[in-house]
Structure formats: structure tokens, C-alpha cells
Chain A
Amino acid sequence: MEHFTPWMALAGGALIGLATASVFWLQGRLAGISGICGGVLAPVRGDLGWRLGFVLGLLAVGVVGVRVAPQAFSVEAAPSLALVAASGLLVGFGTRLGNGCTSGHGVCGIARLSGRSIAATLVFMLVAGVTSFVLRHVLGAG
């Protein structure tokens, strides 16, 4: 919040775009994280390996990264664990019902100019903004 670094943000985004492209090139799949996790929960033969590998890759960066650059992985702004649990339930259910999350709709879908993804992204951004406002400025939680 204190340090807004547009170039780092753009570079981080470019890495995410490259990672997404590598999954599309190799697996022929659009790398939405909620979809990848959903596929791990409901495994299909021959389609599980890369998904598990991907999730392990995400976890590995967390394991190593927090020791190398703890500040970049700080979760101090997260609310109470009860709220975090409620948030996780909603994110899990909502992303399966709506077929995607920030990466699937927000990155892959918008890059493909998908009408569904553009609509979904507008809705979840708007709703997340309102939720955050109500929680932090009306209810005073978080």
C-alpha cells in the first residue's frame, strides 16, 4: 500500500501471462487456478499430473519465498481466521458455480475477449469492492 511500484506490477503480470501461456502451449488448457484446483479434487485420468505439479509449484514458491523475502508474503492485512474461513468457503463455491476466478476470467478470459469472462470480472470486482467497503468502513471489521 505504501509503495506502489507500477513496473514491478507490470513485470509480475507479464510473468503470470507467460506462465498461463506455457500451460496453454503444453497442456492446451486455460490456466484458471480455481479450475486447476477443482480438477485436482475431481481427478480425471491423464489430466491430474500437470495440475498437481502446478499446485505444488505454487506451494513451493510460498515455502521458499517466505524465507527469502518475507515482506512479499505478508498476510498481516488478512482479517480474523473465522472471516478467512468464511471467505474461503465463498471463494470455493463461487468460483465453481461461476466457472472461474481472477486468473481464469480476469486474465485468460479477458485476453480472449470472452463476453462471459468480461461480465464475470466486472461483477466480482464490483462485489468485492462493495464487500470490502462494508466490512472495513461500515462494520469496522478486518
Chain B
Amino acid sequence: MQALSGFASGVLFALGLALGGMTQPGKVIGFLDVAGAWDPTLAFVMAGAVGTFGPLYRLISRYASPRFASAFVVHATWPIDAPLLIGAAVFGVGWGIAGFCPGPGVVSAGTGAPEGVVFVLAMLLGMLAFRGYERLRSAAPAARTVAAE
């Protein structure tokens, strides 16, 4: 049931991306590249999404719990720290190179386009690399302590 509802949400999400032109990297690059023939589409897609989700988020938050889980899980809204800003910048470089962000990338992989498939495989590799980096980082202070002794 949960997998099925997740599937339905994913289909709806991808249809929204496609309708909004976001499954065409050209439309995304057209927005990001203000020096080219500027295409404001992406701003309208985001406005439509924020304008729809914003009120619904407030409404749904009034429920005691979600349908299929015990509690709502939301992220901290503060503080703005270095990992957030550096991560956003690294993502921005990647996004600016090809015009793929994760959602449209996965949809493109579904079309079988080599660009989409390569993007998603590389993205998953990047995510695994981050997990490795995190493990190293959490191991580092302990290693230093041992060395100090």
C-alpha cells in the first residue's frame, strides 16, 4: 500500500515536471543562463509548486499524524551553517553544468536517454562518496585522540 501510494506520488511529481518543461535540460539552462535567450519557465514552476504546497503543508500539519507513519518528520529551519552553503554551492555547479537536478534526472533515466542514465548513476555514486566522506569525518576525531595518547 505504501509502495503503491509512493508510486502514485512519484507519477504525479514527474507529470508536473514534464508539464512544466523541467524534463528538458534546455529549459532549465535557459533559466539559469541569464546571458542567453532567457526563459523564465523554471520560476513559474517553482511558484506553482510553492504556492500549492505552502497552504497544504499548513493544513496537513494540523493532523495528529500522517496516514502511514507515526509522526511528521520535518527538517530544522536554522542555523545556516557551512555544510549547507558548501553543499548548495557544489550542487549548483553540477546543476549548472548539465541542467539536471535529481528529479528530472531520474525521469530522464527512465526515458533511456544515455544522458539521464549516466547522470543518475553518477549522482548515486556522488551520494555514496558523501557517505564515505561522512564516515571518514566521524572516524577522524577518534583517530586524533588515539594519536595524542
* Genuine A/B complex: yes
Residues in chain A within 8 A of chain B (CB atoms): 1, 4-6, 8-31, 33-34, 37-38, 41-42, 49-63, 65-66, 69, 72-79, 81, 83-103, 105-117, 119-121, 123-133, 135-137, 142
Given contacts A96-B87, A106-B46, 17 further A-B contacts (CB under 8 A): A19-B12, A20-B52, A21-B52, A22-B5, A59-B107, A60-B11, A62-B111, A72-B19, A72-B24, A75-B115, A88-B123, A90-B90, A91-B101, A92-B123, A101-B102, A116-B75, A119-B80
Q: Determine how close the nearest CB of chain B comes to the CB of A17; give it in whole angstroms.
A: 3
Q: How far is the CB of B135 from chain A (nearest CB, A)?
A: 12
Contacts of A90 in B (CB 8 A): 90-91, 93-94, 97, 126
A123 touches which of B14, B17, B70, B88 (Cβ 8 Å): B88
A107–B49 contact, CB under 8 A?
Answer: yes
Query: A111 to B118, alpha carbons, bound, how many Å?
Result: 31
Could you say which of B30, B53, B120 contacts A107, with CB atoms under 8 Å apart? B53
Interface of A: prevailing SS: helix
Beta-carbon contact of A18 and B129 below 8 Å:
no
Check B29–A132 contact: CB distance below 8 A.
yes
Complex contact A93–B127 (CB within 8 A) = yes
| Chain B residues within 8 Å of A102, by CB | 46, 95, 101-103
Which range holds the interface residue count of chain B? 35 or more
- Residue of A with least CB distance to B102: A33
A124–B91 contact, CB under 8 A?
A: yes
State A81–B60 Cα separation when bound (angstroms): 42
Using A49-B3, A87-B100, A91-B100 as known contacts, say yes or no to A97 and B90 having CB atoms under 8 A apart. Answer: yes
- Cross-chain contact B95 with A92 (CB below 8 angstroms): no
B136 within 8 A of A: no
Q: Are B25 and A93 in contact (CB under 8 A)?
A: no
Are A62 and B107 in contact, CB atoms less than 8 angstroms apart?
yes
A89 to B111, CA, bound (A): 20
Q: How many Å lie between the Cα of A50 and that of B2 in the bound state?
A: 5
A33 touches B103 (CB 8 A): yes
